[in-house]
Chain A
Amino acid sequence: MTTFVLINVTLLAILIATALTISGMRTLYAATMLTALFSLVTACLFVLLDAVDVAFTEAAVGVGISTVLLLGVLSLTRSREAVTPRLRRLPGAVVVLFTGGTLIYASQDLPEFGSPTTPVQTHPLTDVYLRQSQEDIGIPNTVTSVLASYRGLDTLGELVVVFTAGVAVLALLGPLMQPAEAREREVLDLVDYRVLRVVTGMLMPFILLFALYVLFHGDFGPGGGFQAGVIFASGFVLYGLVFGLDRAQQVLPRRVLWVLIAVGPVLYAGVGVANMLLGGAFLDYDTFAPDDAAAGQHIGILLVESAIGVTVAAVMTSIFFGFANRVESSR
């Protein structure tokens, strides 16, 4: 127990120190690199707090996708922050001190950290998720069963948010360019790095294979559609960075990406409608196999997770292509 507290406090201290350094930094490139470090430490903390699925996602998103996006935007805009005038710091400090004080005052009512008698742990729902799910659904990873089955409607909502965000970015940054238009431009400098090209070429199939493993192994271990989608996307982002945008867009043409972005929500909602046609409620997977509820749940969860994976991967990849196109055309 004391080791746990020690590691926990150390990681949190590193986290806060990193956050303070980021807030004081004016060179935004360095701040971006520190946010990647911040994400890695956060992922360690998630593992410590037993949230392996979340740690997985945070590591892939925080280090892979958001760092690349921030770096791309920095190369499009100015990478140095203006000095914050002293006058502006005061209201911020006052608001922060007041809010922080209120939060700490309110935290007296919070249950003890890690106590097994908190309302979260004693609520009857906990037992449903942890024990009864084994009979209802029969999947060891309860995070997946809650995500895709018990709270499937929530997840559909989240997927629609991701879809909308992807469409919004494409609307803001203009449609992806045709490869033919961009081909005459100078390719990315990284193409000269032969070692990087060879190693990336070797790793690509394994990255995609790993993403598939994460997608289909999500029932038994940490993993699932969101993580797999992000890993797929970071594979394509790596490919685009190393081999140039044109080749990446030849592999994944924009029309295919646009269709894939829409496939996820349609498939997800389609599963729900199919359940209704089969005589059940929306997203009631039991109707897929009337004799064996668990088998029906397995089919439903597999379909839904694939839908999530496809959309998340397509949205993240096309967001990257959108930013990278701007970078190339602004040269």
Chain B
Amino acid sequence: MIVLEIASGVLLAAGALFVISGGVGLLRFPDFYTRTHAAGLTDSAGAGLILLGLLLQGAGWETAVRLLIIMLFLALTSPTSTHILAHAARRDGVPVWREGDPRR
């Protein structure tokens, strides 16, 4: 059981790290596309790892099934929304940041 606890803790910490780095990226990255990347990281990697960590806490199979369903939905919706955001920005002609450009 102690192994599970440690694994769960590591996963939770890694997930939290991803969420924080996503937040920092959202503030620090220079343009819309890179920021979308940071936000997408929070949704998929961050939330996914945290859910995995919660899954290992062993709260009974009913909760486990719910967590799995949530993970499935996140895996479907989060990349879709990131893709749509970037696609819409591209259609509207938001320029891509190049080395040396000012921050937007």
Contacts and interface: CB of A to CB of B under 8 A. Distances in A.
- Asked if A and B form a direct contact in the complex, defined as CB atoms under 8 angstroms apart, the reply is yes
Interface of A: 193, 195-196, 199, 202-203, 206
Nearest to B72: A206
Contacts of B76: 199, 202-203
A203 B87 CA distance: 20
B67 to A, nearest CB: 15
Contact of B84 (A196, A202, A203, A206): A196
B77 A193 contact: no
Nearest to A198: B80
Interface string B50-90: 00000000000000000000000100110010011001000
Nearest to B84: A196
Give the size range of B's interface with the partner: under 10
Contacts of B77: 199, 203
Interface of B: 73, 76-77, 80, 83-84, 87
B21 to A, nearest CB: 19
Contacts of B84: 193, 195-196
Contacts of A195: 80, 83-84, 87
A231 to B, nearest CB: 13
Contacts of B73: 203, 206
Contacts of A203: 73, 76-77
Q: Nearest 6 CB-CB pairs, A to B?
A: A199-B80, A196-B84, A195-B83, A199-B76, A193-B84, A195-B80
Nearest to A200: B80
16 contacts: A193-B84, A193-B87, A195-B80, A195-B83, A195-B84, A195-B87, A196-B80, A196-B84, A199-B76, A199-B77, A199-B80, A202-B76, A203-B73, A203-B76, A203-B77, A206-B73
Nearest to B87: A193
Contacts of A199: 76-77, 80
Given A193-B84, A195-B80, A199-B77, 13 more contacts: A193-B87, A195-B83, A195-B84, A195-B87, A196-B80, A196-B84, A199-B76, A199-B80, A202-B76, A203-B73, A203-B76, A203-B77, A206-B73
A202 B72 CA distance: 12
Nearest to A203: B76
B94 to A, nearest CB: 15
Contacts of B80: 195-196, 199
A202 B80 CA distance: 12
Nearest to A206: B73
A199 B79 CA distance: 10
Count chain A CB atoms within 10 A of each CB in B73, B77, B80, B83 and give the residue with the most.
B80
B52 to A, nearest CB: 21
B73 to A, nearest CB: 8
Nearest to A196: B84
B64 to A, nearest CB: 16
A71 to B, nearest CB: 14
Contacts of A202: 76
A29 to B, nearest CB: 14
Contacts of A206: 73
A203 B84 CA distance: 16
A216 B99 CA distance: 56
A199 B83 CA distance: 12
A75 to B, nearest CB: 15
